[in-house]
Amino acid sequence: MPKKRPQGIKASDLVGPIVDKLATLGKEHRAAPMLEEFIFNKTELTQNGALESGHFKRVGDVSSHMEDARSVFLVKHVFSGLVLVQKVIHKDKNPDVLQLIHNEIAIMHECVCPEIIEFYGSFLGSSGEDVNIVMEYMDAGSLDSLLERVGRIEEYPLGIITDNVLMGLKYLKSERHVIHRDMKPGNVLVNTKGEIKLCDFGVSRTMGTYQTKAMTFVGTVRYMSPERLTGQPYSDASDLWALGFMLIELATGNYPLPLNGKDVPPIAELRDPRHPSWSGPITTPFEGVPVMELIQLILEGPEPSLPAGPFSEPFRNFVTITSRRKPTQRCSLDVAMAHQWIQDSRAAKLDMAKYFLGTLQFDPEPFESDEEDEEEEEEIDLGAARAQGVGQIKNLD
């Protein structure tokens, strides 16, 4: 007799906590409309029982790469018509990989926050070999794809994005007691409703154990903090390093460190897809850069900073205090959230829905795979790195 297939997490099981959260916040809270829609959608999804493969019809391929044993599809729920994203992760016998999958499902299952991607449930595929995670569809893509469309992101839209990222990180730290550990542009999603949300929690670590020294690299090396690269204890200050580092890239259109022996290019021109001279999306030139060379640049290269250009002094200061090489010299999450640049960005009262929509004018497929990221998301033995003369333990404190 065949074994009964596990039904996964029912979306209806998650409605109760969301209702409680909405009651606590009140109908006038800025998050109330999102939570009400979330409750409605979850209820719709469970009218026909626990989620399973037959409930969804694939209507698009959100990410075609398979190197990390997963693929992401745009799907329609056949009973409600809801358009969602289905991440298919092929099960691995490696216990570390299984733990990453478990981490992502567990954290998404518990999160109820406007700045965190909405999780609708999970289930095993019909063969029992695939784990399927169902989440909301963010129709303007990631910050990676946004950067490719516009060349660089202007200061105040970037400030609003940063404000939302900080609120997401604060929620993860204060209420879920985790740090993200893989902050990068590809893990910040946006939509044409003007929402900005964090995703991809497979590498998140519980705050109670984050002081354990990491002997392997988990996450994307490109945005990894010096203390993590050298195997020292780390905290949410590592997420702030990644944030400050990627802000320079998003504001200038260029990775902050010189690659392939070349100087960092000048600040990119603003690009408007509606303009006749627009030549299409651009990519950061990471091709051919060895991982060990990248690590050495982060540890020993110039400390990241904004170049001369059209940037306010508060923005420059924010980048400086979040991306200092020594973790004890970086600001805290609370200081970052109260920073003058964040206040100025809020005061600008930008219509982010209009901004994100405007960037999609000539980009019918905002979600694109980032194969360079996947190449760098390899697990590297710290001892092997040191044997090559890279990543020597330094006193960063």
Please give the positions annotated as active site. 182
Residue 245: which of 149, 157, 165 has the closest Cα?
165
| Cα of 22 vs its chain's centroid, Å | 25
- Tell me the C-alpha distance between 134 and 9, whole Å: 10
Q: What secondary structure letter does DSSP report for 381?
A: B
- Tell me the C-alpha distance between 134 and 74, whole Å: 10
Residue 318: which of 87, 101, 158, 152 has the closest Cα?
158
Query: 136: burial class by Cβ within 10 Å (0-12, 13-18, 19+)?
Result: buried
- Tell me the C-alpha distance between 323 and 330, whole Å: 7
What one-character-per-residue DSSP string does 314-344 give? HHHHHHHHHS-SSGGGSPPHHHHHT-HHHHH
Contact 271, 150 (CB under 8 A): yes
List the end-to-end C-alpha distance of the chain, in Å, as a whole number.
60
- Tell me the C-alpha distance between 141 and 281, whole Å: 14
- Tell me the C-alpha distance between 301 and 311, whole Å: 23
